[in-house]
Amino acid sequence: MNVFVLNSGRCGSTTFIQACRHIDNFSAGHESRIGRIGPERLAYPPNHIEADNRLSWLLGRLDRTYGDNARYVHLIREPDATARSFHKRREMGIMRAYREGILLGGEPGQEPLAIAHDYLDTVDGNIRLFLRDKRRRMEFHLENAGADFRRFWSWIGAEGDLAQALAQWEINHNASA
């Protein structure tokens, strides 16, 4: 069984995967196939946990490939905190791609923080729509990571070192805010 951690980015996905690396019966990866195209892009090994914010743009293909035969986690961080974190990275990565590729540069006077909120609303809407008919799904809130990770651990039948996994949530992996 595969597990996909769907998210906007800047919400704890790196930490999530670091915690999952203490699970013995699953492999875990963070953005592990981002450079691939075609069927190879979603060719994850069995019993794998993947977190990749770009999957929110590939949900049709994810549905076609895995459908209701996987488990899905919607990883969420408080929106204002997430937007502020993206604001610090506004000239790179997904924020630049969203502004330049999706908004085609946007309109004059648009504040980068407003663009970050727009991006988050778009991604959250895409993920929620995708998950509406999935039987095996859970919401995971970064602000409640300890309790939610314990629930996740049980939900997937994880085996390994739960204490070491939980300790990862005390470390700021890939932090900008």
Residue in the block written with tokens 């794998």: 48
Count the domains in the chain.
Answer: 1
Q: Residue 91's pLDDT band (boundaries 50, 70, 90)?
A: confident
Indicate if the pLDDT at residue 175 is higher than 80: no
Q: Residue 101's pLDDT band (boundaries 50, 70, 90)?
A: very high
Does some domain include residue 77?
yes
Does some domain include residue 144?
yes
Please give the average per-residue pLDDT across 79-83, as a whole number.
96
CB 55 within 8 A of CB 4: yes
Indicate if the pLDDT at residue 49 is higher than 90: yes
Does some domain include residue 41?
yes
CA 78 to centroid of chain Cα atoms = 14
CATH of the domain at 166: 3.40.50.300
Does some domain include residue 176?
no
| pLDDT of res. 114 | 97
Does some domain include residue 114?
yes
Does some domain include residue 60?
yes
* Sheet with 3-6, side-by-side order of all strands: 27-30, 48-51, 3-6, 71-76, 137-141
Provide CB contacts within 8 A for 32, sequence distance 6+: 44, 50, 52
Q: What pTM, to 2 d.p., does this model score?
A: 0.95
Tokens representing 131 are 């998950």
Residues paired with 3 in a beta bridge: 49, 71
Does some domain include residue 116?
yes
Q: What is the pLDDT of residues 1-40, one digit of tens each?
A: 999 999 999 999 999 999 999 999 999 999 999 999 999 9
Mean of pLDDT over the chain:
96
Residue 134: give the domain boundaries: 3-170
